[in-house]
Amino acid sequence: MKITAIVAAATAVATVNAHGGMIEPMCRAISTMKLNIDSTFGHPINMRGQYTNGKGGECFGFTPDTNLQPIPYGESKIKMRANDGANHVGPCTVYLIDPSNKENKLKVGEMNDCMRSLHPGPGNKGDKPIPAEMTINVPKDNLPCKDGHCVLQFYWEATHLTPHELFDNCADVKIGGGGGGNGTAPSMSPSSSPSSAPSPVGPVAPTDAPSPPGPVAPTDAPTKGPSPPGPVAPTDAPGPAPGPAPGPAPGPDSKGEYEYIGNHPDKAGMNTWCNQNCPAFCPGDFCKKK
């Protein structure tokens, strides 16, 4: 039984280079925070905190979603995709986390150098996304969940930068709930890109992947913008810390031309999200034109 999670990069407002993030299970950044597509997927953790109204940049601190999405026991597939310049070196890891204690976590999937393997060279805005599959393995015992409720975190490290650039997305899930995805994100055919199927391991904390042999040039150039209230670490190029990218402005509301067609109970909020992001980023199984 497959659970899809698509690593999607924004091709809309070009204030930052597109990166990636999980859209199914639907992440908190969209379902409860209503962040626009660049703030959801384009900003690393240390920059994203500027746009979350005091909830920080880590997705675990975002408003929880009471609409728990089902994840089965055992092996299942998550789907990823990378586009534009998202050819960073470093691992992608999937964790299940205790919703009341972020230190209590269990690694259920990992893929070394995942984005680089999908996107070996610099991309261009508007390039067709590159899909792939990754296996996760959820055991029946020793889960960090509360009454079956876990936070599923997709965590991606860009280890070619110092300090490492970090990205994450979180979804609230129900373990053993049966069924696959909830039909709120675009479906994609399986890719032939390599995948790995790790066995479940005990609770661990995120670790940094070893740096690849030889120097690797950063792929994204930093952008300029107003300085945030506090210091911000470098984003996409080593050296002195640049000013962070300005917060991407939401797209025009299209005068209500689009509507949400998924299953999330907050229809009004998701309609607003669709009208803020369409047509620049408008998944066909997520939003549609009236």
Which pLDDT value is given to residue 19? 67
For 235-279, the DSSP string reads -SSSSSPPPPPPPPPPPP-GGG-EEE-SS-S-HHHHHHHHHHHTT
Q: Tens digits of per-residue pLDDT, 64-73?
A: 999 999 999 9
- The strand pairing partners of 80, in sequence order, are 132
On average, the pLDDT of the chain sits at 70
Which pLDDT value is given to residue 237? 41
Over its C-alpha atoms, the chain yields an Rg (Å, rounded) of 18
Q: Tens digits of per-residue pLDDT, 86-141?
A: 566 788 899 999 999 999 999 999 988 776 766 666 666 666 666 777 788 999 99
Which pLDDT value is given to residue 269? 73
The region of weakest confidence among 56-60, 173-177, 180-184, 212-216 is 180-184
Q: Is residue 258 within 8 Å of 282, Cβ to Cβ?
A: yes
Q: Which domains occur in the chain, in start order?
A: 28-201 (2.70.50)
- Closest by alpha carbon to 59, among 241, 206, 248, 218? 206
More confident residue, 229 or 81: 81
For 182-234, the DSSP string reads -S-S---PPP-S----PPP--B----PPPPPSS----SS--------SS----
pTM above 0.75, yes or no: no
**Structure tokens that stand for 102 in this block:** 């972020």
What would the mean pLDDT of 8-37 be, rounded to a whole number? 66
